[in-house]
Amino acid sequence: IAGITQAPTSQILAAGRRMTLRCTQDMRHNAMYWYRQDLGLGLRLIHYSNTAGTTGKGEVPDGYSVSRANTDDFPLTLASAVPSQTSVYFCASSDSGRMWQPQHFGDGTRLSIL
């Protein structure tokens, strides 16, 4: 089934550790996104990528980095995790080469920083 795969599904991490959240899509979408979802705050954009080789900052980029080496993969890295990064992280993709296309989401990674 085509879609977005995120890994791991959940993780408990000690503060100060480095962590990479993985995201893979098989829809050949050129644009990909990372959001975090916190209770009472909805989903907020962390980073995005228009196409392989390019990335950009969203609303809440501090403490996170991304890379886009190819079309299918868009990993999100926390270089040194802090408790405020405890959240549910969603990866999304869209066919931004066509106008008015919605974003499609994975099922998220639940991350707890202790």
Which residue type, as a one-letter code, is found at position 70?
Answer: N
Q: Cβ 4 to another protein, closest distance in Å?
A: 8
For residue 28, give every residue at least 6 positions away whose Cβ sits within 8 Å of its Cβ, in sequence order, or none.
Answer: 71, 72
Q: Are the CB atoms for 98 and 75 separated by under 8 Å?
A: no
* Closest to another protein by CB, 31 or 78: 31
Is residue 107 part of the contact set for another protein (CB under 8 A)? yes
In 3D space, the residue among 19, 29, 25, 21 whose CA is nearest the CA of residue 47 turns out to be 21
The site string for another protein over 24-63 (x = CB under 8 A, - otherwise) reads -------x-x------xxxxxx--xxx---x-xxxx----
* Closest to another protein by CB, 31 or 111: 31
Q: DSSP letters of 53-79? A: T--EE-SS-TTEEE--SSSSB--EEES
For residue 26, give every residue at least 6 positions away whose Cβ sits within 8 Å of its Cβ, in sequence order, or none.
Answer: 2, 3, 5, 72
* Closest to another protein by CB, 10 or 84: 10
Which one among 25, 64, 72, 108 touches another protein, defined by CB under 8 A?
108
* Closest to another protein by CB, 10 or 80: 10
Interface positions with another protein (CB under 8 A): 4, 31, 33, 40-45, 48-50, 54, 56-59, 90, 92, 94, 96, 100, 102-108
